[in-house]
């Protein structure tokens, strides 16, 4: 038996693969274009494992995906592949339209043709699992109920709009063609191997190098934080026993303001890696102009996956953020390799 993972060299995808190889004997094939956020160094520990195979390629490449389906005959495809950074979507929205919409469309088309050619028993077992985001639901007020799977879509950035479009396509291929799909919408992930343009790894990296810790606006934007390994376990659960055609919201049950997240990082670094002058890393915090269309609050109501699939996050924010900081402290060589000239140019452009 074999499964396909697209975008498996990225942050969440690589953590999923590491988790899968550790806990399953089933072959897993990683299809990744290796954009700036794709890093095979994440998967160094499994690159020689006979149950793991990497294929460099674009999910929008019809011929490639078609050939891989014919060669490997997988029982499932899990689609992690996406352009995912809101800030970048504001500057280069066309990249997000191409990968998140056209790429997902191509995966659906090739998957549908493959699925239709299967025997009845194999058709019943096949799954197309699409990994999406809570940002498709828009922004919540401070006292609004967290997002339910039934919430209307109100995306506010090119990134979330492109993900919303891909979600709608996945839904349509189930209702129109019967393709056995599953969709998950997750809250903000954090943990090992996250590219340091996102808030948590950016602040850890900047703190350790003595640079400013940039906070958009007043820092009171609220996010629900989900430790990446909990997310991977939830996806496994959905793949295993989720009902086809259904959507499952996956959240960490950890709502925090951005400024509280950054202050927590500083406090833990003060303990684990104190400065020589004993000053707090909090002194490096700097508030900067807010980004356009910045949603105020995201929050997930995860009762559906908790009640129907018996999944719950195992990490609190306090345990997860400590694990994450310790991982970055222990893996400074990895950090150094991803902080190349192109990354530094992007950070300078975005935050100055």
Please give the positions annotated as active site: 134-135, 159
The two structure tokens encoding residue 228:
């990446």
The two structure tokens encoding residue 21:
């190889």
Which ranges in 103-157 belong to alpha helices (H)? 104-116, 120-125
Alpha-carbon distances, residue 14 vs 32, 166, 200, 300 (angstroms)? 10, 21, 18, 24
Exposure on the CB side of residue 73, measured as CA atoms within 13 A: 6
The two structure tokens encoding residue 174:
């189930």
- In the block, residue with structure tokens 């954090």: 190
Residues in the chain: 352
Burial label for 280, CB within 10 Å (0-12, 13-18, 19+), is middle
Taking the alpha carbons at both ends of the chain, their separation in whole angstroms is 50
Instruction: Please give the Cα distance from 126 to 191 (Å, whole number).
Output: 30
């Amino acid at each position: 038996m074999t499964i396909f993972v697209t975008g498996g060299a990225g942050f969440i995808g690589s953590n999923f693969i590491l988790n899968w190889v550790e806990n399953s004997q089933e072959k897993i094939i990683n299809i990744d274009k290796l954009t700036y956020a794709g890093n095979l160094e994440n998967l160094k520990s499994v690159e020689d494992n006979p149950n793991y195979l990497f294929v460099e390629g674009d999910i929008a490449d019809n011929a490639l995906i078609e050939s891989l389906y014919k060669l490997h005959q997988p029982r499932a495809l899990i689609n992690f592949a996406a352009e995912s950074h809101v800030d970048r979507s504001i500057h280069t929205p066309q990249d997000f339209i191409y990968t998140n919409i056209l790429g997902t469309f191509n995966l659906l088309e090739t998957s549908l043709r493959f699925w239709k050619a299967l025997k009845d028993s194999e058709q019943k077992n096949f799954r197309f699992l699409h990994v999406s985001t809570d940002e498709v639901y828009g922004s919540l007020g401070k006292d609004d109920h967290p997002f339910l799977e039934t919430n209307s879509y109100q995306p506010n950035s090119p990134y979330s709009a492109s993900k919303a479009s891909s979600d709608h396509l996945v839904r349509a291929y189930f209702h129109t063609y019967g393709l056995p799909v599953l969709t998950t919408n997750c809250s903000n992930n954090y943990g090992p191997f996250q590219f340091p343009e996102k808030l948590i790894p950016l602040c850890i990296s900047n703190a350790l190098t003595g640079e400013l810790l940039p906070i958009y606006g007043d820092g009171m934007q609220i996010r629900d934080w989900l430790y990446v390994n909990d997310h991977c376990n939830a996806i496994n659960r959905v793949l295993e026993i989720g009902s086809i055609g259904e959507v499952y919201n996956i959240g960490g049950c950890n709502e925090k303001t951005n400024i509280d997240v950054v202050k927590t990082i500083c406090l833990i670094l003060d303990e684990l890696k104190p400065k020589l002058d004993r000053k707090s890393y909090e002194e490096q915090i700097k508030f900067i102009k807010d980004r356009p269309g910045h949603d105020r609050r995201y929050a997930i109501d995860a009762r559906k996956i908790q009640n129907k699939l018996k999944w719950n996050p195992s990490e609190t924010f306090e345990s997860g953020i400590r694990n994450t900081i310790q991982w970055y402290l222990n893996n400074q060589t990895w950090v150094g390799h991803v902080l190349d000239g192109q990354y530094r140019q992007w950070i300078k452009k975005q935050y100055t």
